[in-house]
C-alpha cells in the first residue's frame, strides 16, 4: 500500500520532504505533482523502479525518460548543450518543457534512447519539486503519469492513490498541479523540433 503525503503547495514541510527523500533512497517509486501534471519518479540509478515505470506505463525501449533537474548547473552534468541551445532553453526555464539532448556519460545507459543516445531533461516551476530536489541532491528519474488506458494524465492525488496503490510506494498531494504534460522539444539534431505540444507554449521553437 502506497503512503500518502499531503504537502503544503507554497511552503513544503521539511519533515515530509525528508521522508519522501528517504523513501527514494531506499529504492522507492513515487507519484508526484509538477507544473505540468503528475509524474512517476525514482532515483537515477534505480533499475528496479525504471522497470516498474515501464510496466505501469507499458513503455517500449525507445521511450525517452526525463531527468528532472534543480538548475542549469545540474542539468549541464547530464546533457551536452551548446551556447545557442542553452540560450533558447534558458528563455523558457523553469517551466513546462522537456528538452531532448545528447546525454553525457553521467547518464546510466539503460535510460538512453537506444539509437540516439539522448535523454530528456527539464527544470520545472514547482515549489515541492524544487524542495525535493534540494534535499535529494541529484536529478529525479521521471516519466509522465499517463496510464495506457487513459487519454490524459491523472491529476488528483486521491485518484492516483486508488489506481496505483499497489504499484507505487508513495503518492504526494500538493494541491492543484498542471493538467497537461510538458511540451517536448528535441534538440538532438542541432535545431529545435517540437515532438509534443503540451503545457509550454511551443511557438518560439516552431
Look up the pTM and report it. 0.95
Q: Report which DSSP code applies to 51.
A: H
pLDDT, position 151: 82
pLDDT, position 38: 95
pLDDT, position 123: 97
pLDDT, position 201: 95
pLDDT, position 41: 98
Q: What is the C-alpha separation between 172 and 4, in angstroms, rounded?
A: 6
The per-residue DSSP string of 71-127 comes to SHHHHTTTB---HHHHHHHHTT-SSSEEEEEEB-TTS-GGGS-TTT-EEEEE----H
Contact 139, 133 (CB under 8 A): yes
CATH topology of domain 3-205: DHBP synthase (3.90.870)
Contact 145, 45 (CB under 8 A): no
pLDDT, position 167: 97
In b/e form, how buried is each residue of 158-190, taking b as 16+ CB within 10 angstroms? eebbebbeeebbbbbbbeebbebbbbbbbbbee
pLDDT, position 155: 84
pLDDT, position 1: 93
Residue-range domain boundaries for the chain:
3-205
Residues of the chain with pLDDT under 50: none
Amino acid at each position: 500500500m502506497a503512503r500518502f503525503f499531503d504537502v503544503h503547495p507554497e511552503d513544503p514541510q521539511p519533515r515530509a520532504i525528508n521522508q519522501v527523500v528517504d523513501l527514494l533512497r531506499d529504492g522507492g517509486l513515487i507519484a508526484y505533482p509538477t507544473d505540468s501534471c503528475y509524474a512517476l519518479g525514482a532515483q537515477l540509478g534505480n533499475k528496479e523502479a525504471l522497470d516498474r515505470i515501464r510496466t505501469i506505463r507499458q513503455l517500449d525501449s525507445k521511450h525517452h525518460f526525463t531527468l528532472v533537474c534543480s538548475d542549469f548547473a545540474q542539468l549541464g552534468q547530464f546533457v551536452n548543450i551548446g551556447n545557442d541551445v542553452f540560450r533558447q532553453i534558458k528563455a523558457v526555464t523553469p517551466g513546462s518543457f522537456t528538452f531532448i539532448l545528447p546525454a553525457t556519460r553521467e547518464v546510466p545507459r539503460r535510460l538512453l534512447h537506444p539509437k540516439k543516445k539522448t535523454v530528456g531533461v527539464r527544470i520545472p516551476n514547482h515549489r515541492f519539486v524544487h524542495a525535493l530536489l534540494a534535499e535529494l541532491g541529484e536529478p529525479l528519474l521521471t516519466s509522465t503519469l499517463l496510464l495506457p488506458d487513459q487519454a490524459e494524465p491523472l491529476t488528483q492525488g486521491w485518484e492516483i492513490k486508488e489506481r496505483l496503490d499497489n504499484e507505487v510506494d508513495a503518492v504526494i498531494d500538493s494541491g492543484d498541479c498542471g493538467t497537461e504534460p510538458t511540451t517536448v522539444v528535441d534538440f538532438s539534431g542541432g535545431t529545435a523540433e517540437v515532438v509534443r505540444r503540451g503545457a509550454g507554449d511551443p511557438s518560439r521553437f516552431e
